[in-house]
Structures are given as C-alpha cells and as structure tokens.
A and B are shown apart, each in its own frame.
Chain A
Amino acid sequence: PPTPSSIPSKLTINFVLPYQSEISNKEVCALRPSPADLSESRLEFWQMGVLPGHVATIAELKPGLLSVHEGSEVTKYFVSSGFAFVHANSITDIVAVEAVPVDHIDPSLVQKGLADFTQKLNSATTDFEKAEAQIGIDVHSALNAALSG
C-alpha cells in the first residue's frame, strides 16, 4: 500500500479470526499486541505498541494480550497466537486462530492448567512431549499475566 504524505490521526485495524471478523475497519488510536521475539534471548513480557504512523511491520504474535485503545476505551483480547501486519498507510491487519475477551477466561482453569503442564514438563520423555508441555506452560503463564495485567 502507498505511504501517505502525512501521518493519519487514527489507526485503522482489521482483526480477524477463522470463524468471524472481530473488528473491521475500525479507527482506533493505538494498539498494543505482544509480539514474539524469535531470538534466543527472548524477553518474557515484551510489549509492542502500534500508533498511527508506525513503520511497516510484520510481527508474529505470541500468546498474550492485545489491547485496542479507542480514545479512553480499551478492549482487551487474549490472542492464542497469530500475526500482525502494519502497513505503511497505517492500516493494521491482525490475524489470530483464537482470541477471546479477557473476561471470558476462567482463572481457576488457568491455574490448574499451569500446574498440570509444569508437571507434564517434568515427566515428559520425548522432545515433542517436552515442547508440548512447554507450550502449555507458556500459554497458561501468558493467560495468568493477562488476567492480572
């Protein structure tokens, strides 16, 4: 997409899931997704903010919070994983397999899941099982952080 001559005042976002279009063409002020930093020294709680005029970016989202800021209103979603594409004209597309509003999450299930997977990691034998258990821990810790954040 072409870069406009001046920075638009609002960010236009499209947020889609496989089964529904969560947000389409909404104009918002800012966006804060949790990108995945693919380097070895990954920071756990790295947050990225997207404002109008942000440099064009492709970001892989790791399980975490996506907060959409519209004026003073903030809507928070927990994204299981996905991608965010920021285009030069400040249109941002976010695709996710699963995203839920944070208040749809049950805290007791999160705690239980975290404990379960921590135990699975200890008892895992193959690399694949260890990876699955690690994913479980990552996702549940992110859910936990999202609930308390």
Chain B
Amino acid sequence: MASTAAAVPFWRAAGMTYITYSNICASLVRGCLKEPYRSDAGAREKVHFAVSKWANGKPEKSSIRSDSHSE
C-alpha cells in the first residue's frame, strides 16, 4: 500500500518552519566568511522592528525592538 505521509525534511519534522531553516542557513554561511565580508554581513543580520498589542481595534502600546540574530 502506498504511504499516505508526504516525505518531510528533518527540520520540519522537528517543528521548524522553512523560513527559520533558511535564516539559520544564511547566518551560518555569514559566520564562515573572511573579513571584511564578515562584518559587512553582520550588519545585514540586525533586525529592527516594532511590536504592538491590539485591543478593541486599537493599538495599545508599541515597543520598538532591535535584535541582532542570537547565535
């Protein structure tokens, strides 16, 4: 009988999404670069975003976060 389960990559089976997988791959590659490319790439990893909780159709508060990729 044919198996009904589609083959899943190991990372998806472990609960990771493709975008997480892709970002991990990218930051690993950046970590293996020679200088000065490595420091240039380091700047690309910084994430800057604002998060706000919504209640009753209005944004309540907004916290601005600036994370660099934690590794």
- Interface set of A (CB-CB < 8 Å, partner B): 18-19, 36, 38-40, 63, 78, 80-82, 97-98, 100, 104-106, 109-110, 113, 127-128, 130-132, 134-136, 139-140, 143
**Are A110 and B9 touching (Cβ within 8 A)?**
no
CB distance from B28 to the nearest CB of A (A): 5
* B10 part of interface (Cβ distance < 8 Å): yes
Q: Which residues of B contact A (CB under 8 A)?
A: 7, 9-11, 13-16, 21-34, 37-38, 41, 44
Query: A-B pairs with CB below 8 Å: how many?
Result: 83
Secondary structure at chain B's binding surface: helix, strand, loop or mixed? helix
Contact flag A140-B16 (CB < 8 Å), given A81-B21, A100-B33: no
- Smallest CB-CB separation from A107: which chain B residue? B32
Q: Could you tell me the distance between the alpha carbons of A38 and B33 in the complex, rounded to whole angstroms?
A: 28
**Alpha-carbon distance between A113 and B29 when the two chains are bound, in angstroms:** 10
- Closest A residue to B12 using CB positions: A131
